[in-house]
Chains A and B, each alone.
Chain A
Amino acid sequence: MAKGNNSEYKKMIDQQYKDLMKHCELHMEQIEKDLPEPREDLHEILKDRGFSRRDFIKWTSAMTAALMLPPIFRPLVAKAAENFGRIPVVWLHFAECTGCSEAFLRSSYPNVDTILLETISLEYHETLMAASGYQAEQNLQKAIHDFAGKFICVIEGGLPRGLNGKYLTLGPKGKTGIEVGKEVASKAAAVVCIGACAVNGNIQAAKPNPTDATGVGRALGISTVNIAGCPPNAVNFTGTLLHYIMFGTLPPLDSLGRPVWSYGKRIHDYCERRSHYDASEFVEEWGDKSALKGWCLYKMGCKGPYTYGNCSKVRFNDGVSWPIMAGHGCIGCTEPAFWDTMAPLEKPLDEKTYGGGEKTVDTIGAVLTGAAVAGVAVHAVASAVRHHQSDFFKTAPTSHKDDRTEE
């Protein structure tokens, strides 16, 4: 019976995947009709950069798996990558350090992901464009007019809300970030927030937050796709865009707007040092023998147990390394209110201090417990004294049950 059910289940799944593939093929044909040819051919760029066809196929396999699709989708992922350059993108920079763009563009060993990002049809990118001043403003207007409802708006950086948003003004007309954001986002097919600043404000939104900065979604009151991280992995962005190219929809998002395929599990769950955590093997001090052995960084303030992300699986810089592999704990940059909730970054959470001193919740708790013990001791002595002085305790109370027992 179980076998019968199993084959039926398999049939159902196969059918679902077939339908999905058909949908995907149709959507891609539509894209090829609707959107202009890529400016550059992906395969030629890859060849120029010394990537063989084999490297590209390897990358498609990895990307298909990362997107949680079965291997039969590999040709489609490859096709979507070839069509990557068709999607018009407007890339805005708000309150941030441009580190995300830098991290995407300047890797020393660019992989297919980073090259894909270079083939993107960037209609407007404040860091990369040659135009400036009124010319840049014109380009932006042209892009959002020509591709209205079709382009993807990528936003890097948070939005300060203080002084009516005047802490951040852009362009020759001195528009505030909020104005620009509203204008562009209203015409975009989707808004993708890149990096912790655009997602929740990051360091600009940390206490005391003088500019009242926050994430784009909250500042503009729109729902966004949040590629969280400081910086996020290029894979998470390209994968989400590939999903959009393949299926015409955004990937499933978690309750914080992060794509589930990349932010579905915690760092801790897939950490390569996890076995040392379970074995009670911790680094107690930077550079001690435990650190040399690659033991768990929990006591050095690793925030992996509270952080959702796929850093441990996809790693950074072409899979060379990632923070925990390099010997420093996770700082929790993909989580809401990052900085405030994750501070202190190099100490466990419960060693957060109050009032600028050494007062942690444990010292406060211990002092209060000591005070409680002292208090009850004083109370006990006072009770004894009172007992000797008078018949204070002799007036026995009437229990609430007396009525019943006397019946």
Chain B
Amino acid sequence: MQKYLGIKEWSATLRINHWAVAISIFILIATGFYIADPFTIYKGETVDKFFMGNVRFVHILFGVFLIFLSIWRLYLAVFSRFHADWKDFLAWTDLKGLVQQIKFYLLIKGHPEQKYLYGPVQALVYSGCWGMVVVTLITGVILMGAGYHAGLTSVAYFVLKPVENLLGGLAVVRYIHHIFTWLFILFIVVHIYMAFWYDAVLKQGTVSSMIGGTKFKQIKE
């Protein structure tokens, strides 16, 4: 019988945050594609239909959720009582480790020693992903604010108006918003694969660790 030692890897708050972000992003991608390329609903009277309006409502709702989830995640990265991981996002600054990690991914050399919570490539991609979230949220708030003329949204829009002008108007803002959707899709494909791959090759329970919070390590008798 092999014996395993359970090591707590992720705090409950971080896991809740992760899945809330994941659900938000999935909903945002689906609703976002509808807004970009909607299908027509022919049946019924105009007065009874509000599908685009509802889809936009859901999109904006989860977009605002994502703003607060991102702020929460930033807070956890800096102040988490379990493990504040902001330093781990900088694992890619260890360039030697980065090269070793790439060699491991290309199946050339064995797994290098891991100094941080995240591997170097992982840290780079995660940092990039949060950068993508920031860009998408800013462009999203601009696009949302353009249609509202009162409340907090219009204040945010007023603050972000120079960004809109810098980018070259709402049309460009909208285009950037659209491009970044595809970057999220690419991230999701690779992220899910890597989670499964790690789980399969290292047998430490990587996938379930984001649910139960515990990773497992084999102990030699």
The verdict on B130 contacting chain A, using a C-beta distance below 8 Å, is no
Question: Which residues 169-191 of B sit at the A interface, judged by CB distance below 8 A?
Answer: 169-175, 178-179, 181-182, 185-186, 189-190
CB distance from B140 to the nearest CB of A (A): 14
Q: Which of B46, B107, B165 contacts A336 (CB 8 A)?
A: B165
Residue of A nearest to B5 (CB): A405
Q: How far is the CA of A395 from the CA of B111 in the complex (A)?
A: 7
Contact B114 A398 (CB under 8 A): yes
Contact A365 B185 (CB under 8 A): yes
* Residues on the A chain within 8 Å of B165, using CB: 255-256, 336
Residue of B nearest to A384 (CB): B200
Q: Which of B112, B113, B147, B185 contacts A269 (CB 8 A)?
A: B147
Q: Which of A282, A369, A398, A401 contacts B186 (CB 8 A)?
A: A369
* Residues on the B chain within 8 Å of A376, using CB: 189-190, 193, 197
Q: How many chain-A residues does the 8 Å CB contact rule pick out?
A: 59
Q: A369-B189, A380-B193 are in contact. Are A284 and B171 (CB under 8 A)?
A: no
Contact A255 B161 (CB under 8 A): yes
CB distance from A375 to the nearest CB of B (A): 8
- Among the stretches A50-58, A69-77, A145-153, A344-352, the one at the interface with B is A344-352
The verdict on A247 contacting chain B, using a C-beta distance below 8 Å, is no
Contact A282 B202 (CB under 8 A): no
Q: How far is the CA of A402 from the CA of B217 in the complex (A)?
A: 10
* Residues on the B chain within 8 Å of A290, using CB: 40, 42
Contact B162 A255 (CB under 8 A): yes
Question: Which residues 205-221 of B sit at the A interface, judged by CB distance below 8 A?
Answer: 215, 217-218
Q: A268-B147, A279-B46, A372-B190 are in contact. Are A337 and B36 (CB under 8 A)?
A: no
Q: Which of A295, A341, A382 contacts B171 (CB 8 A)?
A: A341
Q: Which of A350, A392, A405 contacts B110 (CB 8 A)?
A: A392
Q: Which of A298, A369, A373, A399 contacts B114 (CB 8 A)?
A: A399
Q: Which of A299, A306, A382 contacts B107 (CB 8 A)?
A: A382
Residue of B nearest to A371 (CB): B186
Task: Flag A374-387 by CB within 8 Å of B: 1 or 0 each.
Answer: 00100110110011
Contact B201 A368 (CB under 8 A): no
* Residues on the A chain within 8 Å of B107, using CB: 382-383, 386, 392
The verdict on B133 contacting chain A, using a C-beta distance below 8 Å, is no
Question: Which residues 11-58 of B sit at the A interface, judged by CB distance below 8 A?
Answer: 36-42, 46, 49-53, 56
Residue of B nearest to A275 (CB): B46
Q: How far is the CA of A373 from the CA of B53 in the complex (A)?
A: 33
Residue of A nearest to B33 (CB): A362
Q: How far is the CA of A276 from the CA of B175 in the complex (A)?
A: 23
CB distance from A365 to the nearest CB of B (A): 3
* Residues on the A chain within 8 Å of B168, using CB: 336-337, 341
Contact A349 B52 (CB under 8 A): no
Contact B171 A281 (CB under 8 A): no
* Residues on the B chain within 8 Å of A281, using CB: 40-42, 46, 49
Contact A341 B172 (CB under 8 A): yes
Residue of B nearest to A303 (CB): B171
Contact B38 A400 (CB under 8 A): no
* Residues on the A chain within 8 Å of B189, using CB: 369, 372-373, 376
Contact A365 B182 (CB under 8 A): yes
Contact B149 A265 (CB under 8 A): yes
The verdict on A278 contacting chain B, using a C-beta distance below 8 Å, is yes
Contact B38 A341 (CB under 8 A): no
Q: How far is the CA of A255 from the CA of B107 in the complex (A)?
A: 54
The verdict on A280 contacting chain B, using a C-beta distance below 8 Å, is yes
Contact A350 B37 (CB under 8 A): yes
The verdict on B69 contacting chain A, using a C-beta distance below 8 Å, is no
Contact B190 A299 (CB under 8 A): no
* Residues on the B chain within 8 Å of A109, using CB: none
Residue of A nearest to B44 (CB): A279
* Residues on the A chain within 8 Å of B181, using CB: 365
Contact B182 A335 (CB under 8 A): no
The 30 sampled A-B contact pairs (Cβ below 8 Å) are A255-B162, A255-B165, A269-B147, A275-B46, A279-B46, A279-B53, A282-B38, A282-B40, A299-B37, A305-B147, A305-B170, A306-B170, A307-B170, A336-B165, A336-B169, A337-B168, A342-B171, A361-B182, A376-B189, A376-B193, A387-B201, A393-B110, A393-B111, A395-B110, A395-B111, A396-B218, A397-B111, A397-B113, A397-B114, A399-B204
Apart from A361-B178, A364-B182, A396-B217, what are 6 other A-B pairs with CB-CB below 8 Å? A268-B147, A279-B46, A337-B168, A337-B172, A372-B190, A396-B111
